[in-house]
Structure 1
Amino acid sequence: MERRNARRALMYALHRLDIEVINSRICATITSLEPQNSLLLLGGVGSALRELVEVSISCCNDTLADRDSLRDDDVAWIPCRMRCVDGERWILERLEVFEAGCPKIAVLLNVDDIPCASVMESKLRALLDTRSDQTLFIATATKREDVPPSLLRSLRLSVDHQVVMPSKAQRCDAVAALGSHLDEILTPSQVLELSTRMPGYDFLDFLQVFYRTQARIADFKNTNIYRRILAEVETTRPRILMSEGAELVRFPPMWGTKHSGLQSVLGYNRLKEEITKYCDWPFLCEKSFARLGIEPPSGILLEGPSG
């Protein structure tokens, strides 16, 4: 039980790293409103954004309004899922609750989900057209390092502020700084699960940070674990011959992410040469790792280069 609790605490801490990094930017935007009390509408369906808003609001106020019992003396958030049939009615009902005590409205748009963000902004502007001068639109990117202004213009998204995630290098530094006891808490299969919950991370990048190895990627390609992964891939999915003669390997389904169940096809030779360049490199499932015979914690990236 103690081990499980430690693991959960670690996963929660890692999940919060990205949120904490950009939290100050969100807070600065919210507190810049005059007066500070405002209604924050959360756009999109991402749980990370919802948690980010909760953290941000709690930092701006001594008390956090409950999501279902909104109070006009707090900054509150509304999970604005515009794809829902009753979404507009749901929002309007809560706007009426806040009408008297909410001088300004902030709308948080998750531009990762481009179609949803575009539709949401147009609907919200229609709902709030009588208060357009009091509405603040904030565009956020939870997975991209940046959202080009040209993209926002092409989508006709007019935003007052833009908040983006830090670079991958900054996130890796944050994980590395978390502590030196990670390998004492988690098994390799649990590390795999944890890595899938960290948006923007390449699997090998995560493993290198996790085990604090100094080995180069080129050295890692010579390790037994890398060969086992390639062997596992070759035996679990058929190869496909392309017209130019390049071999492709269909990987096992990704596990533990929103893409669970999907299969990706990558160039076999390109995989061996540029494996770390795939941000969405398909993760082997837990059972695949078990079949590879990886024993915690020395089975990953602790083997020296062979040959």
Structure 2
Amino acid sequence: MIHKPVMLKECVDLLATKDDGTYFDGTAGFGGHSTEILKRISSKGQLIATDKDQTAFQYCRNKFAADKRYSADLGVSSFQLDNVEAGFTFREDSSLDLRMNKQEGFSASEFLNEASQENIAKVLFEFGEEKNSRAIAKKIIELRLKEKISRTFQLKKIVENLTPERFITKSLARVFQALRIYVNDELGELTEFLDKSVNLLNKNGRIAVLTFHSLEDRIVKEKFKYESLSCICPPGTPICICSKKQKLKLITSKPVVPAESEIENNRRARSAKLRAAERI
């Protein structure tokens, strides 16, 4: 099992500022960032970690079972993306599921077999920024009239038939990403997480968020910016009437991105952006 945590040092440098602090890892994955955080904290520190993916959750629970500073309490790692049984990869034929937690919500297969052509195209365009979304959606509707769409290769074939050869891999990545984000409500959960975490932070406590998609980064950027403002009254308002209170101080005015050397060693790091803020 090989998983390379992205921007490991940068993330933990921004987050772990007190060796006796309490830290939360919201996407434990296979313990890359958790391991580094545990190296930085003392016996008085504590790390609480969680993950929607049950395989990753149980892995970390077992890995850190002997460490009393670690508590496992119920994104996506490289292992999850490449695991055929998890249904995330288009490189092997598998069940078209894409859910992190197979016990929750609906699968990608159910969505593609039941949604309207317009809604399918909308998901592929908004969450995957796939320019060929309408044509792909049309072919999905045509195929499901003949047979149930339940396998990754059925969807893969549709995309391949509509895409120039040199763009196939990128289009496949965008389509599968869009469906994964949608069926897991990743953007909605990110928004909820940010709302709750800002209010739970102690004074001088920090939050660091690593994103891999422009839509995710936009949500984090806008939330951090909003919470760093002390007034949101329209320009020219003589006195403040909004009652807005500043909650955060920006630690990163611009997102931190991976070094070229890291991207060379881990291609999945190339789209990563890291933002951090501190509670005031």
Give the TM-score of the pair, scaled to structure 1: 0.29
Q: TM-score, normalised by structure 2?
A: 0.31
